[in-house]
Chain A
Amino acid sequence: MTRTQAAPTPAAQGEPESLAAFFQQYKRRAYLFALQMVGDSDDALELTQEAFLRLHKRWHRRDPSQPATALLYAVLRNLAIDLLRKRAVRREAEAEPEQQGVARFEPETLAGRQELRAALWRAIERLPEAQREVLLLRDFHGLRYEEIARITGTTSTLVASRLRDARERLRRRLARYLE
Chain B
Amino acid sequence: MKPDRHEQIRSLLSAYLDEELTQADSQRVRLHLEDCAECREQLAQLERLKQLTGELVFPDPPEQEWEEVERRLSVRITRGVGWMLVCGGAVGLLIYSLVMALLHWRPPTVREILGGIVLVGALLLFFSVLRQRLLELPHDRYRRVKQ
Contact = CB atoms under 8 A, between A and B. Distances in A.
B49 interface: yes
B11 A171 contact: no
A164 B73 contact: no
B146 A153 contact: yes
Interface of A: 1-6, 23, 27-28, 31-32, 35-36, 41, 45, 48-49, 52-54, 56-58, 62-63, 66, 68, 70-71, 74-75, 78, 109-112, 116-117, 120-121, 124, 138-140, 144-145, 150, 153, 156, 160, 163-164, 167-168, 170-171, 174-175, 178-179
A160 B145 contact: no
18 contacts: A1-B60, A4-B55, A27-B66, A31-B61, A45-B65, A45-B69, A49-B69, A49-B73, A63-B147, A71-B145, A78-B145, A112-B55, A116-B52, A138-B18, A144-B20, A145-B18, A163-B14, A164-B14
A120 B56 contact: yes
A116 B11 CA distance: 25
Interface string B60-78: 1100011001101100110
A80 to B, nearest CB: 12
Among A109, A124, A167, A179, max chain B CB count under 10 A is at A167
B146 A160 contact: no
B54 interface: yes
A76 to B, nearest CB: 11
A138 B77 CA distance: 32
